[in-house]
Amino acid sequence: MNILRKGSCAAALVLVSLAALPARQQGGQEGGVDPAMFAGLRWRPIGPMRASRTCTVAGHRSHPYTFYMGVCNGGVWKTTDAGTTWTPIFDEQPTQSIGSIAIAPSHPQTIYVGSGAGLHRPDLSELSALNAALTKAGLEPVKPR
């Protein structure tokens, strides 16, 4: 995770540095940054294409570019290039709710995954708990959208 944080900080520092460079004066243009300087930059995806939350990340010192990421309700993902690309490795399992990941210190190919709630829609469990409390209080239950 430290490598990911350092990489993000380095990328932000480069962008801020580029924006702070003094602009060249061209044809009556005063100050500002020439947009052509950024013409070669393109947006690219750098992680799993999910709108989920990351719960846990694990790596092993003998494989410095390999990491495993557990996503709340999104399974386990693996990168072997320090986070440039990610591959899902948990799709065939009965739950996608991940709570923890650990790598065996003595054998980095052994990965332990602890599941979370095990629900396809964890938000439904919260709604049912809320409805139970509302019903007990004599109020109308909330209907799912």
Determine contact, residues 48/4, Cβ cutoff 8 Å: no
Candidate from 15-19, 53-57, 75-79, 113-117 with smallest mean pLDDT: 15-19
Q: Which pLDDT band, with edges at 50, 70 and 90, does 13 fall under? A: low
Question: What does the pLDDT look like over 16-48, one tens digit per residue?
Answer: 565 655 544 444 455 678 888 888 888 776 655
What pLDDT does 99 receive?
84
Domain boundaries along the sequence of the chain: 52-137
Neighbouring CB atoms inside 10 A of 46's CB total 14
97-137: pLDDT as tens digits: 888 899 999 999 899 998 875 555 554 555 566 667 777 77
Whole-angstrom distance, CA of residue 21 vs CA of residue 94: 52
Q: What pLDDT shows up at residue 23?
A: 46
CA 25 to chain CA mean position, Å? 41
Cβ neighbour number for residue 77 with a 10 Å cutoff? 23
